[in-house]
Structure 1
Amino acid sequence: MANDANLNTQKKEEEHNKIKGVFSLQTLMKVGTGTTQRKTIQKNYWFAKEVENDMIEVQPLNVNYVPSGPKKLISKDEFLDKFSPEPEFYTYTVYPKMRELNKTIARADRHRKRGETYSAEFEYKNALNIDEENIRANFGLGLTYLERGDKEKANDIFERLVKLDAAFEAEHKHLFNEFGINLRKQKMYDQAVDYYSRALELSPNDENLHYNIARAYFGQNKIDQTLAHLKKALELNPDLEEAKKFIEFLEKKRLIPEGTINTITS
């Protein structure tokens, strides 16, 4: 028990000592041309978080002082060499704005779960006014439109999300899955195929993505593509029962030759 307590204490200390907060990066800029050219120092602010293997994940702050846009990884040595801590700026400006943004999204989520779609839309839009690339807010607003059957507005959100790599990261998996399912439920099969294709570019060996895109292709009545992705799903995970049952369903409907499932699983 004592060893467990010591281990927990050590882990907490390690987490506490990890880099996290707002840092500034100064870059030298040349302004003007010829004899009027002069040098000026530009200061940009970044939100930084230490991750695995002595790497630091950095993300720029937007004009509203919240982390927004693409993240990138740099080594800890490079980070410590180039970035300067801004603890007061983080404590008094950035952290309160991040907290308020998260509270706004949480309110929107509660409205959506209660079926209060117009209140949810209002709060999600408030969040996007602060951070237009916020993944949770974009997914939430898109789901709100899909649940309301507003396909035109949902398509606008789809086009925004499909361009954002961060939308398909593991931390957003549940929202990502829910959005794809709702696209298919609304018979937005073209968008669903594009959506899952984009995800497969980033995670080509995810059997569930292959299964989901197979269902979207089936909605388009593209049986060859449906079967190809079901086969790939089973190649990646031979125990994926949903894929097996889907193939058996295709056999019963005489959309593919009988015995296809036996050929694949033997």
Structure 2
Amino acid sequence: MTDSSTIQDLKGVFSCQKVAKVGTGTTTRRVAQVGYYFVEQSGKDEFDVRPLNSNFVPIGNAEKIDRETLLRDYTPEPEMYHKQVLPNMKDLQKTLARADRNRKQGNSFSAEMEYSSAVKVDETNVRGNFGVGLCFMERGETERANDVFTRLISMDAAFEKEHKHLFNDFGINLRKSKMIPQSIEYYGKAISLSPDDEHLQYNMARAYFEAEDYDNARKVLATCLELNPEFAEAKKFIAYLDKNKLG
């Protein structure tokens, strides 16, 4: 058994044998299957475990396990990590970085190609899927953007707090493209990831305003000012609603 004191800031690939049921009724049998997982330490005695896909990159939401479970049930696979998984993860990040640069430089089609390449490697990649959608919206291809929106909002992806700016950017572009209901839904997702961000709340209020839902716009602005009583833009927004007797 591995000495638990040697596991510090661990990151790597592990295999784990799990027993699965195959077949139905009288043909049901139990089969041992070996799976491969990317494991990353998230606390003193806590680890995030994500399965590897066929392209040897980690995907999906992380499962939390403790140190005892890791030591008991998982076997290190250092060669796979260094020869396959780590290089593929680095290549994926480089592809996404190129895509981001192209989009910032206005090279929408080049950016879309790079984002699409990333999604081929990891179809649940949040940054890649958002990037494709943003490229569509920036080119005014709202129908294709809506297809991406539908896929993203229903995708069981590894959405993290760090993705809030992607939800925010996508929400802004949805609103500018007059896709207001989708914009509101996206801001809701962003706020669920970061409920204390007054700027997300403010953008949600703007989306409600464009939907002519002034009551909800006021409610969100009130929350915005609870979070930051000195938020000048929110105060001006409420003053405008008051002056025009809206909501």
Q: After TM superposition, is the score higher than 0.5?
A: yes
Partner of 1:73: 64
Does residue 224 in structure 1 map to residue 245 in structure 2? no
> In 1, Cα distance between the equivalents of 2:232 and 2:196?
17
| RMSD (Å) for aligned C-alpha atoms | 2.4
> In 1, Cα distance between the equivalents of 2:179 and 2:22?
50
> In 2, Cα distance between the equivalents of 1:123 and 1:187?
27
Does residue 54 in structure 1 map to residue 31 in structure 2? no
The Cα of 1:201 is off from its aligned counterpart by 4.0
Partner of 1:214: 205
Deviations 1:234-258 (A, max 9, x none): 22332222211110122233325xx
1:221 corresponds to which letter in structure 2?
E
Out of 91, 94, 102, the position equivalent to 2:82 is 91
Gaps of 5+ in 1: 1-13, 257-266
Gaps of 5+ in 2: none
The Cα of 1:96 is off from its aligned counterpart by 1.4
**TM-score after normalising by structure 1:** 0.82
Partner of 1:11: none
Contact kept, 8 Å, 1:47 with 1:58, in 2: the verdict is yes
> In 2, Cα distance between the equivalents of 1:232 and 1:84?
48
Contact kept, 8 Å, 1:168 with 1:176, in 2: the verdict is no
Q: Structure 1 residues 135 and 48 mapped into 2: Cα distance closer, same or farther (>3 Å)?
A: same
Out of 252, 260, 264, the position equivalent to 2:243 is 252
Does residue 131 in structure 1 map to residue 111 in structure 2? no
What is the aligned-residue identity percentage? 52
Alignment of 1:157-236 (within 5 A): 157-164=148-155, 168-236=159-227
> In 1, Cα distance between the equivalents of 2:229 and 2:156?
29
Q: Structure 1 residues 207 and 165 mapped into 2: Cα distance closer, same or farther (>3 Å)?
A: farther
The Cα of 1:17 is off from its aligned counterpart by 3.2
> In 2, Cα distance between the equivalents of 1:221 and 1:34?
56
| Largest Rg, 1 or 2 | 1
The Cα of 1:68 is off from its aligned counterpart by 0.9
The Cα of 1:193 is off from its aligned counterpart by 0.9
Larger mean CA deviation between 223-232 and 30-39 belongs to 30-39
The Cα of 1:23 is off from its aligned counterpart by 0.8
Deviations 1:93-128 (A, max 9, x none): 111111111121112112111111111111111111
**TM-score after normalising by structure 2:** 0.88
> In 1, Cα distance between the equivalents of 2:222 and 2:28?
63
Q: Structure 1 residues 203 and 164 mapped into 2: Cα distance closer, same or farther (>3 Å)?
A: farther
Partner of 1:263: none
- SS of 2:154's partner is coil
**Higher RCO structure, 1 or 2 (CA under 8 Å, sep 6+):** 2
Alignment coverage as a number of residue pairs: 242
Out of 210, 232, 236, the position equivalent to 1:241 is 232
> In 1, Cα distance between the equivalents of 2:36 and 2:140?
40
> In 2, Cα distance between the equivalents of 1:224 and 1:34?
56
Does residue 25 in structure 1 map to residue 16 in structure 2? yes
2:186 corresponds to which letter in structure 1?
Y
1:40 corresponds to which letter in structure 2?
V
